[in-house]
Structure formats: C-alpha cells, structure tokens
C-alpha cells in the first residue's frame, strides 16, 4: 500500500469513527462493534505505509482517538444505566414478594 492509499484509509477510518460516535449515542452496540472492526482493519492496513508519520496523519489519528474515547464513554454510561435499572427492578421484585407474603 502506498502512502496516498494509506492516507485515504485513514480518512475513511475517521469517517467511521464519527459514525461510531453517533451509533454509540443511540446505544446500538452490535452496530458499534461492527464499525469498530471495520475501522480496525483500515488502521492496520494503513499503519506501515504511514511510517514515519507526518503532522496530518497524527492529527487524524488524534481525532480518531478522541472520538473513540467519547464513544467508549457513552457506551459505558449506557451500560451503567442498564445495570442501575436492573438493580432497581430486583429491589422492586423483592419488595413485591415481601409485601405479598405479609398481606392480610
């Protein structure tokens, strides 16, 4: 792969990262995993052709990393919210069982 093709792959990885951030907002985990796998392949294919890295390549990679961090944070937030919901459901079920056995 030549440097120009590698840069095109890196730009496509950036586009996918932006899409991934939007998908993470919506909580579409399966789609996020699929996009992440596609992006990983692009990054791996471009890695060697971009060495040594110029300022433009570093800037694109920095933006990809920032978007990735944001996407992970959003997905983790949704996961923790689901865990809290499940905990509250369990508390409600226990309360219902306790109430139903003490009912006169």
pLDDT at 96 (0 to 100): 86
**Cα dist. 27→4, 9, 17, 30, 31 in Å?**
34, 26, 15, 9, 9
pLDDT band at 103 (very low <50, low <70, confident <90, very high): low
Q: Taking 70 as the threshold, does the pLDDT of residue 6 lie above it?
A: yes
**Token code pair at residue 66:** 């920032």
Nearest CA to 13 out of 57, 53, 50, 64 is that of 64
Question: Residue 27, SS3?
Answer: coil
Task: Collect all residues with Cβ–Cβ distance below 8 Å to 25 and sequence separation of at least 6.
Answer: 74
pTM: 0.80
Q: What is the pLDDT of residues 20-61, one digit of tens each?
A: 999 999 989 999 999 999 999 999 999 988 888 899 999 999
């Amino acid at each position: 792969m030549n440097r120009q093709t590698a840069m095109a792959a890196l730009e496509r990885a950036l586009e996918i990262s932006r899409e991934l951030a939007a998908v993470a907002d919506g909580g579409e985990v399966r789609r996020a995993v699929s996009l992440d796998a596609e992006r990983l392949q692009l990054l791996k294919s471009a890695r060697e052709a971009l060495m040594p890295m110029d300022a433009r390549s570093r800037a694109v990679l920095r933006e990809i990393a920032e978007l990735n961090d944001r996407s992970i944070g959003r997905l983790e937030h949704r996961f923790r919210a689901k865990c809290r919901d499940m905990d509250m459901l369990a508390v409600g079920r226990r309360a219902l069982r306790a109430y139903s056995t003490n009912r006169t």
